[in-house]
Amino acid sequence: MGWIREPIVVVLGHVDHGKTSLLDKMRGTVVARREAGGITQHIGASHFPLDAVLETCRRLLGEVKVQLKVPGLLFIDTPGHQVFANLRKRGGSIADMAVLVVDVMQGVQEQTVESIQLLRARKTPFVVALNKIDMIQGWKPVEGAPFKDSINNQAPRVRELLETRLYSVVGQLANLGFQSDLYTRITNFAKTLAIVPVSAKTGEGVADLLLVILGLAQAYMSKQLEAREDGAEGAVLEVVEEVGLGATVNAVISDGMLRVDDRVAVLGREGPMVVKVRALLMPKPLDEMRDPRDRFKLVEEVRASAGVKIAGEGLDKVVPGSPLYTVSSEEKLAAVFEKLRSEVEEFVLSTDKTGVIVKADTLGTLEALVNYLRDKGVPIRAADIGDVSKRDVMESSAVRLKDEFLGVILAFNIDVPKELEAEAASRGVRIFRGEVLFRLVDDYLEWVAKTREERARASFERLVKPAKVKVLEGFVFRRSNPAIFGVEILSGQLTPHVSLMNSSGRVVGVVTQIQNMGRPVASASVGEKVAVSMREPVIGRHIKEGETLYVAVPEGDARLLLSTFQDMLGEDTKAALKEIVEIKRRTNPLWAM
């Protein structure tokens, strides 16, 4: 018979929006109810027992009538994208829920969007903690109060300010595809994203947030919170060197029970591997931490949901973000190894195809990057964990010969040795580095778009553009050698050094200079009347007053203008091009096809 485990809750959001402060305030609030059960420290997580959470929420609940089966909440202590990315399992996350922290004064920011992209990719439900309500002008704090009591204490103008900021966030979330509202107005939490106003500084709304999380877990997650007793599953958050212990892993156990002497299968840098659990360690309570060399207490077993430090041989080879499974027999080992391989083969890859090279610090962040690149349609040649190597540079250099926009390296949160940076630069290989997950990809895509646009603009500028002009009657200043006469620009833009043709398609000469009010100019646009000089024609013989002339666009240029650069032409220029094409196709039906 199994048990109902605690929902695993992670906290995400933009930098400085108060993720850590909110966690600290929630911990402090629950610890203050120590007589009701206190708080248990875990590695990388904090366990909030049900009775302590209920005591915190008592002002909101009165006496709880509903029988709650959820035994409490397990909050991941270290907020942020990378930690959440490592809480991975195939097709999702071992985090059951998330709290997305949004600053009420700043709204949705870049890393908020990034958090939402990760949550959506991992199919993780979340609630929005609208933090820093105490910063609203005129706000009168009510320390630790539920939101309803707190808002009732505010002046009407202050309530209006909160409503304005709340609905600004509602609009921003709508643009990202989410229907949301203040949690007290929601009737269907399955369809509408709950927004809970809070203050990490004063504790206002913290009880509401805890209650919403508890309620959603109770209502929608009872099946997935059923833990089993045969074996354990989890994920490696990070690999940490500990004095006296060597390399250890900090892991979150999301199902089952892990015991000392169990064998666990994890992903190592060389592939799947098995490690025997030599010791399981938990932090001592804060008031017992007399000696920093003796920070942990040994336990014989941990059961889901829990954060735990695992000691054993060979853990320095484990990849952060790796799934973790106990292996009870040799027969099951092959199946578990195959499961590990299949879980990572989609994004730890090496191919011969033309594509970018992706390197990341952990399995979770690599998976997020690879999936995001695939969503954006970017082909990948290789994706792996670890620092950029000479082989990566050489492979990118080879790809660059076929496609310079794909001959690049995307490096997330890892080092690039200076000598390799120099090697890459000498081969023309660009290395994009970043510590903000999706921004790294977006920076690369922006570079591609900008560079392509600059190249297209440069190519476009080199082309001869269409124009149509009318020879003005009574404005012939010189009939030949050179002919100088007035024209009006009917469409397009006339520039020097282009050939002009008549309506029969016959070239009459080259424009050597354009003058406006007696001064040479670089171009003349629609509606302008200017004087042009041409060496070849004789006015009256080759060109008639009142005649319409066209720029003789070379066939290759016309073909490119029709196929590639049509969108860069103005409507009047397109019309001139159409007329020029019609004239040329009278004698050559396939002209510029």
Residue 346 banded pLDDT, cuts 50, 70, 90 = confident
How many H helices and E strands in the chain?
Answer: 15, 34
Q: Are strands 519-520 and 507-516 parallel, antiparallel or unpaired?
A: antiparallel
Nearest to 30 by CA among 151, 209, 197: 209
**Res 354 pLDDT > 90:** yes
Residue 331 banded pLDDT, cuts 50, 70, 90 = confident
**CA–CA separation, 41 and 308 (whole Å):** 10
**Res 26 pLDDT > 80:** yes
Other Cβ atoms less than 10 A from the Cβ of 368: the count is: 29
**Res 498 pLDDT > 50:** yes
Express each pLDDT in 432-490 by its tens digit: 998 888 889 999 999 999 999 998 899 999 999 999 999 999 999 999 999 999 999 99
Express each pLDDT in 222-273 by its tens digit: 888 999 888 899 999 999 998 888 999 999 999 999 999 999 999 998 889 9
Beta bridge partners of 196: 129
Residue 30 banded pLDDT, cuts 50, 70, 90 = low
Q: What's the mean pLDDT when you consider all of the chain?
A: 89
- Supply angle C-alpha 296, 299, 300, rounded to 5: 155
Torsion region of 130: left, alpha or beta (phi above 0 gives left; psi -120 to 50 gives alpha):
beta
Q: What is the CA radius of gyration of the chain?
A: 34
* Residue in the structure block whose two tokens are 């920011």: 109
**CA–CA separation, 22 and 12 (whole Å):** 11
**Res 292 pLDDT > 50:** no
Domains and CATH numbers, the chain: 3-225 (3.40.50.300), 228-331 (2.40.30.10), 349-461 (3.40.50.10050), 467-585 (2.40.30.10)
Q: Which pLDDT score is estimated for 37?
A: 46
Instruction: Let me know: does 587 contact 505? Beta carbons within 8 Å.
Output: yes
* Residue in the structure block whose two tokens are 């397009």: 492
Beta bridge partners of 458: none
Beta bridge partners of 249: 239, 310
**CA–CA separation, 484 and 209 (whole Å):** 82
**CA–CA separation, 335 and 25 (whole Å):** 44
Query: Does the N-terminal peptide bond of residue 491 adopt cis geometry, omega within 30 degrees of 0?
Result: no
Q: Where are the beta strands (DSSP E) in 50-189?
A: 72-76, 88-89, 92-93, 97-103, 126-131, 180-182
Residue 55 banded pLDDT, cuts 50, 70, 90 = confident
Q: How far apart are the first and last CA of the chain?
A: 75
**Which residues 6+ apart lie within 8 Å of 379 measured at CB?**
353, 354, 355, 356, 406
Residue 36 banded pLDDT, cuts 50, 70, 90 = very low
SS3 label, residue 434: strand
**Res 290 pLDDT > 80:** no
Instruction: Let me know: does 378 contact 399? Beta carbons within 8 Å.
Output: no
**Res 342 pLDDT > 90:** no
Percent helix, strand, coil in the chain, to 5, is 35, 30, 35
CA atoms within 13 A of residue 127's CA, in its CB half-sphere: 28
Q: Which pLDDT score is estimated for 38?
A: 53
**Which residues 6+ apart lie within 8 Å of 376 measured at CB?**
441, 445
What are the C-alpha distances in Å from 4 to residues 10, 68, 71, 190, 212? 19, 11, 7, 21, 19
**Res 289 pLDDT > 80:** no
* Residue in the structure block whose two tokens are 């250099």: 397
Q: Which helix (H) or strand (E) holds 165?
A: helix 156-175
What number is the average pLDDT over the span 300-317? 93
Nearest to 558 by CA among 466, 454, 490: 466
- Per the model's pLDDT, the better-predicted residue between 558 and 14 turns out to be 558
H helices present in 329-477, as ranges:
330-344, 363-375, 390-402, 418-426, 437-462
Express each pLDDT in 367-379 by its tens digit: 989 999 999 999 9
H helices present in 403-537, as ranges:
418-426, 437-462
Instruction: Let me know: does 232 contact 323? Beta carbons within 8 Å.
Output: no
Q: Which pLDDT score is estimated for 35?
A: 41
**Structure tokens that stand for 235 in this block:** 């994920």
**CA–CA separation, 260 and 60 (whole Å):** 42
What are the C-alpha distances in Å from 312 to residues 138, 259, 282, 319, 564? 56, 13, 15, 15, 62
What number is the average pLDDT over the span 522-539? 94
H helices present in 176-265, as ranges:
206-220
What number is the average pLDDT over the span 303-330? 92
